[in-house]
Chain A
Amino acid sequence: MSTTEILFYFLSALAVFSAIMVLVSKSPVHSVLWLIVVFFTISGHYVLLNAQFLAIVNLIVYAGAIMVLFLFVIMLMNLNTQTEPQKHIWMKLAGVISGGCFLMVLISLVRQAGDMQGKTALMKTGNIGLIGNLGKALFQDYVVPFEITSVLFLSAMVGAVVIGKK
C-alpha cells in the first residue's frame, strides 16, 4: 500500500469520523470545530488529487471565512450545550433510517454502475488543478458565469444589508 493510499484511507476515515462528530456533538461550538476538521481533510483530499488551488481556496473560504463566521454567530448568540435543543429520539431514528436508506440505494446503484468499473481518479499527477490552468479556463471559457456570479454577490450583499440593518 503506497503512501497516497494510506493517506487516502486516513483522510477518509477522519473525514467520516469528524462528520459524524459534527452531528453528535452536543455543543454547537464543537460541531463547528469538527466541521473545520472535515474541511481540512477534504482539503487534504484535494491535495492528493493534485488540485492545489481548490485545496487552498477551500481552506481560506470555508475553514477560514465561513466557519469563522459560523463560530462568530454562535458565540454571539451564546449557544451552548445546555441551550441546545434536541429532537425526539424517534425523529432522530427516522432521520437516520431515511438518510441510511438514501445512502444504501445510491451505493447499490454505484455498485451496479458498469461504466464506473475500472476507472480511477488520477492522484498526484495531472496539471489541471494548477492555478494557472484554472485561471486561464476561468477567464476565457468561463468568463460569463464568472461575471454573472457578481450579480449573485450583489444580491447577497443587498440582501444582507436589507436583512441586517435595523
Chain B
Amino acid sequence: MPIQYYIYLCLVLFSIGIIGVLTRRNAIIVFMCVELMLNAVNLLLVAFSKMHHAAALTLNPAATTGIEGQLFVFFIMVVAAAEVSVGLAIIVMLYRNTHSVDINFLNRLKN
C-alpha cells in the first residue's frame, strides 16, 4: 500500500482525536480521545516501520530494519496503560469530590 494512504488515515484519526478533545466536556471521553490519538500514532509507526523494512529488504534480505518502530509501539502501549491507571484514578478522585466529570466545571483556577 502506498505509505501516503496510511499517513492520511492516521492523520485523520489523530485529528478526530484532537477534535474530540476540543469538543467534549466529559473528562473520560476527552481522555478516550487522547487514546485515539495514541492509536493513530501507533498505526502510523507500524506503517512506517514496514515502509523502512521494505526499503531495507531491497538491499539485504535478512535486514531487521523497522523493528524499532514496532518496539516503540510496544512502549507507547505500556506508557498508555500506566497513564490510564493514573488518569482514571484522578478522575475517580475528582468524581468522589464533586460528583461530576465535566471539565468545564474545572474553573476554580483561572486568571
Contact = CB atoms under 8 A, between A and B. Distances in A.
Decide if A and B touch, CB cutoff 8 A.
yes
Interface of A: 4-5, 8, 12, 15-16, 19-20, 22-23, 28, 31-32, 35, 38-39, 42, 45-46, 49-51, 53-54, 57-58, 61-62, 65-66, 69-70, 73-74, 76-77, 79, 84-87, 91-92, 94-96, 98-100, 102-103, 106-107, 110-111, 116, 118-123, 126, 128-129, 133-134, 137-138, 142, 145, 149, 152-153, 155-157, 159-160, 163-164
Interface residues of B, number: 75
Contacts of A95: 19, 21-23
A19 B16 contact: yes
A116 B22 contact: no
Q: Identify which of A94, A119, A134 gathers the most chain B CB atoms within 10 Å of its CB.
A: A119
25 contacts: A5-B1, A15-B9, A23-B16, A32-B32, A35-B36, A46-B46, A58-B39, A66-B84, A76-B92, A79-B28, A85-B25, A107-B11, A110-B4, A119-B2, A120-B2, A121-B1, A122-B53, A126-B57, A128-B53, A134-B67, A137-B64, A149-B78, A157-B85, A159-B85, A164-B93
Interface string B97-109: 0000110100000
Interface of B: 1-9, 11-26, 28-29, 31-33, 35-36, 39, 42-43, 46-51, 53-55, 57, 64-68, 70-71, 73-75, 77-86, 88-93, 95, 101-102, 104
The secondary-structure label for the interface of chain B is helix
Contacts of B102: 85
Contacts of A4: 1
B103 to A, nearest CB: 9
